[in-house]
């Protein structure tokens, strides 16, 4: 069954392209200290002329430098480290909150279901970005906090989806028979419901990673994310915007990188959806 899924996934060319691009970027980010030509916070003020950023392909700087003469390629790689890790870990946190809540709400129903669903609805009504903004201003802006906050306010979709899956699964015969066998609720949820509910949730999880990356860069763009001198794509965009007239690449490159990552994730999600959908025939 796994190999069928894999084969179906590979048939969608875009998804494979996305996977390749993402793996390449993740590898680059993981190996950042090894592959980057300079330390990310090393200033090269002496190379600047009139304090202006050095353009792309000039001398030893492939992507040029920012206004402090820091190598832009290095900062892009380290920024990717930041964005990707925030994206994946925040999505993981949202899964860790959303799946158990959703499964329990769906499985036990009644009061538990009502409480969880009301709470989810409540949180969905507040524009989540603003909540994240508030939380982020309240806590010290470290990478761990940013991950936790984004994860804590983006689990609602996952929760709703797990609940819906659980509701339809628990009526099915194999779950009913497991109940008749006298297994504990916990065992049934873990061994019978979760594995069968997982595939659509995995698809949402990939999209959640993309969402988390965009939120992180939005935060950094507004100056609320990880602080200088640690690079992040959002913050680099913000600085780039100030130099838009003269050094537009400073804003174009980090944005392009974000786009490549989120686009890859969307392609992967779409490919996974097709590959995991038992009804998919086209």
Partner 1 sequence: MRYIIKRLLTMIPMLLGISLISYCLMNLAPGDAATMYLNPEELKNPVSIEAVREKLQLDKPVMVRYVAWLKEVLRGNWGYSYLSRQPVIKEIGARITPTIQLSITALLLEMLLGVGLGVYCAKHQYKISDHALSLFAFVGMSMPSFWFGILLILFFTLQLGWLPSMGLVTVGLKGSWHVILLDRLRHMIMPAIALSFAGIGSWMRYQRASFLDVMEQDYIRTARSKGLKESVITWRHTFRNSCIPVVTMLGGSLPGLVSGSFVIENMFGIPGLGRYGTMAVLNRDYPVIMAVTLFSSILVMAGMLLSDLLYVLVDPRIQY
Site string for partner 1, 11-50 (x = CB under 8 A): ---x------------------------------------
User: What's the full length of the chain, in residues?
Assistant: 282
Encode 138-168: b = buried (16+ Cβ within 10 Å), e = exposed: eeebebebbbbbbbbbbbbbbbbbbbebbbe
Which residue, 106 or 269, is less far from partner 1 as judged by CB?
Answer: 269
Encode 234-266: b = buried (16+ Cβ within 10 Å), e = exposed: bbbbbbbeebeeebebbbebbbebbebbbbbbb
Interface pick for partner 1 out of 20, 35, 96, 126 (rule CB under 8 A): 126
Contact between 181 and partner 1 per CB under 8 A: no
Contact between 221 and partner 1 per CB under 8 A: yes
Contact between 210 and partner 1 per CB under 8 A: yes
Give the CA-trace dihedral at 111, 116, 117, 118, to 10 degrees.
Answer: 90
Cis peptide before 146 (omega within 30 of 0): no
Contact between 124 and partner 1 per CB under 8 A: yes
| CB-CB contact of 265 with 207 (8 Å) | yes
Binding-site residue total for partner 1 (CB under 8 A)? Answer: 48
Q: Which range binds partner 1 by CB under 8 A, 52-60, 72-80, 196-204, 214-222?
A: 214-222
Interface pick for partner 1 out of 22, 158, 224, 226 (rule CB under 8 A): 224
CB of 54 to partner 1, least distance (A): 19
Q: Which range binds partner 1 by CB under 8 A, 46-54, 95-103, 120-128, 198-206?
A: 120-128
Closest by Cα among 80, 250, 97 to 161:
97
Which residue, 29 or 194, is less far from partner 1 as judged by CB?
Answer: 29
Contact between 134 and partner 1 per CB under 8 A: yes
CB of 61 to partner 1, least distance (A): 21
What is the DSSP secondary-structure string of 145-188? HHHHHHHHTS-HHHHHHHHHHHHHHHTSHHHHHHHHTT--HHHH
Classify residue 47 as left (phi > 0), alpha (psi -120 to 50) or beta: alpha
Q: Which range binds partner 1 by CB under 8 A, 5-13, 99-107, 135-143, 191-199?
A: 135-143
CB of 176 to partner 1, least distance (A): 30
H helices present in the chain, as ranges: 2-11, 13-30, 32-35, 72-108, 110-125, 128-138, 143-152, 156-170, 173-180, 185-188, 194-221, 233-242, 249-276
Contact between 218 and partner 1 per CB under 8 A: yes
Give, as ranges, the residues between 236 and 275 that touch partner 1 (CB under 8 A): 237, 240-241, 244-245, 248, 251-252, 254-256, 258-259, 262-263, 265-267, 270
**Which residues are at the interface with partner 1 (CB under 8 A)?**
14, 118-119, 121-131, 133-135, 137-139, 210, 214, 217-218, 221-224, 234, 237, 240-241, 244-245, 248, 251-252, 254-256, 258-259, 262-263, 265-267, 270
């Amino acid at each position: 069954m796994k190999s069928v899924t894999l084969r179906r996934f590979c048939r969608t060319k875009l998804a494979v392209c996305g996977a390749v691009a993402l793996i390449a970027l993740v590898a680059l980010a993981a190996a950042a200290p090894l592959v980057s030509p300079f330390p990310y916070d090393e200033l090269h003020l002496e190379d600047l002329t009139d304090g202006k950023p050095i353009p792309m392909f000039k001398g030893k700087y492939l992507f040029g430098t920012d206004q402090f003469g820091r190598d832009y390629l290095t900062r892009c790689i380290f920024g990717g480290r930041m964005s990707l890790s925030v994206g994946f870990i925040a999505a993981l946190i949202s899964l860790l909150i959303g799946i158990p809540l959703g499964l329990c709400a769906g499985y036990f129903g009644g009061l538990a279901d009502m409480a969880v669903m009301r709470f989810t609805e409540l949180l969905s009504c507040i524009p989540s970005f603003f909540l994240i903004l508030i939380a982020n201003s309240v806590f010290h802006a470290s990478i761990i906090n940013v991950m936790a906050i984004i994860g804590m306010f983006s689990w609602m979709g996952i929760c709703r989806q797990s609940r819906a899956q659980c509701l339809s699964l628990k009526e099915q015969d194999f779950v009913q028979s497991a109940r008749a066998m006298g297994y504990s609720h916990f065992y049934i949820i873990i061994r019978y419901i979760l594995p069968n509910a997982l595939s659509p949730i995995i698809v949402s999880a990939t999209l959640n990673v993309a969402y988390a990356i965009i939120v992180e860069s939005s935060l950094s763009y507004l100056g609320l994310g990880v602080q200088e001198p640690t690079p992040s794509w959002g913050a680099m965009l913000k600085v780039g915007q100030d130099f838009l007239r003269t050094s537009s690449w400073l804003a174009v490159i980090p944005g392009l990188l974000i786009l490549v990552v989120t686009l890859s994730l969307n392609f992967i999600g779409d490919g996974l959806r097709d590959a995991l959908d038992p009804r998919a025939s086209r």
